[in-house]
Amino acid sequence: MKPLLCLLFLCSFTLLAQPQWPEADCVKAAKKLRQLEQKISSGYSLKEAEQLSLEQRLLEKQLDQFCQKPVTPQIKPKKTIKAPTTTATLDDLAKGPQLYVSSVSVKAPYQGKKLQAWLQYYTEPKQCFGVRDSRQMVWCVEQRQQAKANFERQWQQKFALSQPE
């Protein structure tokens, strides 16, 4: 009984911080109060009497205090992006656009003709697309490594044959 009173006491402090409850919370509290009143009217034991009346008083007080003007959720309008309104002067137009220099480096195992040859040589097996099973992933990686090793051997043979001695 005492833990329940402590819990209700602590909850009342947190509820005092809110000026008004949202409408959904008020509906829930009213429903809970109706269920409690039904239980009281259907009969209860002497042990339950004090607890039921305390809960009833607390719910009535909360509804009276926090649900006089329940807060209704407001649907926020979608934000629209407006085009910037700039008035460019003739001097600004004469300067031209500002240019920024950036560099991108791509690290790939092959480049140039060797990359083109690799792309023609290797095609990913269909069962390796969208794989989630770890065993299947391992198999796909092994297949790619084997294909890469075979490609390297063939490339070296081709390169060795094309070199004059």
| Residues pairing with 22 in the sheet | 71
DSSP-derived letter for residue 71 is B
Q: Are 62 and 13 in contact (CB under 8 A)?
A: no
Taking residues 16-36, report their average pLDDT.
81
Residue 163 confidence (pLDDT): 65
Taking residues 40-69, report their average pLDDT.
82
Residue 140 confidence (pLDDT): 92
Q: How confident is the model at residue 18 (pLDDT cuts 50, 70, 90)?
A: low
Helices (H), the chain: 2-16, 23-42, 46-66, 90-95, 113-121, 134-162
- Of 16 and 63, which is predicted with more confidence? 63
Those residues whose C-beta lies under 8 Å from the C-beta of residue 63, and which sit 6 or more positions away, are 26, 29, 30, 33
Q: How confident is the model at residue 151 (pLDDT cuts 50, 70, 90)?
A: very high
What's the whole-number average pLDDT of the chain? 77
- Of 1 and 45, which is predicted with more confidence? 45
